[in-house]
Amino acid sequence: MPRPKILLTRRWPTAVEAVLAERFDATFNIDDLPMTADAIGEALRTHDAVLPTVSDKLPASVFEGGAIRAKILGNFGVGYNHIDIAAAKANGIAVTNTPGVLTDCTADIAMLLLLSVARRGGEGERQIRADAWKGWCPTHMIGTKVSGKTVGIIGFGRIGKAFAQRCHFGVGMDVVFYNRSIVDPAEAARYGARQLPTVEDVLATADFVSLHCPGGAENRHLMNAARFAAMKPGAFLINTARGDVVDEAALVVALEAGVIRGAGLDVYEAEPHVPERLRGMENVVLLPHLGSATEETRNAMGMKVVDNITAFFEGREPPDRVA
């Protein structure tokens, strides 16, 4: 039996690529350049599995233009809003993701952003690197205390819970959250958190609002001009979820007008593009989508994909099938 022919759209951790090369007839992206939509469409017609990442776009149009050979998309990542799931299903293609293994690292990045923006870590670093620090004084670069403040979490899934735990038990914050479904209060209390009925209730209560919901149509521009205006004066926004959850143009206006005090962002609407006006603001901490970027987590994500496609081609149900 010939081995299934698979294609990776980007370079993956070396150890994971080695396992894939042993088990499959694998095409690697040696140059690690993002693939065009046309190239991804061609891969779907010539390979049994395509393994995309968040940096790829798979709209309905990539599934058009000829007979599709691919039977599975083994996504390297938990979020899959870059894939048109309906179009994949319509073409009989299974889709898997990598839940669980990036929970802690993504929650850590949210905490890094919260602390950095509150305590002006980015500004301080830039000042020293510019050799502009004049020395300690009582009024220098004064930030915002986080202990005792309230953080509001939108989306209480794995990452939202891990972030709540860090905020409450790590730095002594009160934690409220909004979640579409009701969470058992005893379960919420394990993370030091309390559910509120609406997004607006969270915005009215929180000194820091942190987004942990999925991207895609249902949450597109969940944070818009009206919702920035509904945040407490002087509050901060943290986004480690997906760029499209925030109306980026409205965020820029809200920051420039002082409607909110600052933002910590790991994700953007049109990555890797980050609006120049955001890049120019001192009260904004900007990271290049680092949520899952640790050696341990990226290896674990890759091995989840290995498990998913191995199960699929052995005729078993892939453990992390989402479609």
Q: Tell the smallest beta-carbon distance from residue 187 to ligand DGY (Å).
A: 24
Total site size for ligand DGY, rule CB under 6 A:
7
Q: Report the residue number, 119 or 321, with the smaller CB distance to ligand DGY.
A: 321
Calculate the alpha carbon distances from 121 to 24, 139, 147, 226, 306 in Å.
45, 16, 17, 29, 38
Tell me the C-alpha distance between 4 and 50, whole Å. 11
- Min dist CB 111 to ligand DGY, Å, is 16
Question: Taking the CB of residue 114, how many other CB atoms lie within 10 A of it?
Answer: 25
Measured from the CB of residue 284, what is the shortest distance to ligand DGY in angstroms?
20
Nearer to ligand DGY, 4 or 74 (CB): 74
Residue with tokens 């004049």: 134
Per-residue CA distances from 55 to 32, 79, 207, 280 (Å): 11, 11, 32, 25
Residues in the chain: 323
> Is residue 78 part of the contact set for ligand DGY (CB under 6 A)?
yes
Q: Known catalytic residue: 47?
A: no
- Nearest to 76, CA basis, from 105, 101, 93, 59: 101
Q: Among the options 218, 271, 282, 296, which is catalytic?
A: 271
- Site membership for ligand DGY, residue 54 (CB under 6 A): yes
Annotated active-site residue in 242, 248, 261, 269: 242
Single-letter residue type at 102: L
Element (H, E) at 202: helix 199-205
Residue (13 or 124) nearer to ligand DGY, CB: 13
The answer to whether 155 contacts ligand DGY (rule: CB under 6 A) is: no
Residues facing 260 on adjacent strands:
none
Across the chain, where does the E strand assignment appear?
5-8, 25-27, 49-51, 72-74, 94-96, 150-154, 174-178, 193-195, 208-211, 236-239, 262-265, 284-286
Using the minimum distance from each CB to ligand DGY, give the nearer residue, 102 or 175.
Answer: 102
| Site residues (CB under 6 A) for ligand DGY, limited to 290-319 | 291-292
Q: How many CB atoms lie within 10 A of CB 75?
A: 27
- Give the residue, chosen from 41, 52, 77, 318, that forms a contact with ligand DGY under the rule CB under 6 A: 77
Listed ranges 16-24, 72-80, 141-149, 159-167: which one lies at the site for ligand DGY (CB under 6 A):
72-80
Stretch that binds ligand DGY, among 74-82, 203-211, 255-263, 308-316 (CB under 6 A): 74-82
Q: Under rule CB under 6 A, which residues in 79-138 are in contact with ligand DGY? A: 79, 102
CB of 213 to ligand DGY, least distance (A): 12
Nearest residue (CB) to ligand DGY, 10 versus 149: 10
Q: Would residue 42 show up in a list of annotated catalytic residues for this protein? A: no
Give the separation between CA 253 and CA 63, rounded to whole angstroms: 38
Confirm whether 277 is a catalytic residue: no
Which structure tokens are listed for 223? 């944070």
Smaller CB separation from ligand DGY, 150 or 239: 239
Name the site residues for ligand DGY (rule: CB under 6 A). 54, 77-79, 102, 291-292
Q: Which residues carry out catalysis?
A: 242, 271, 289
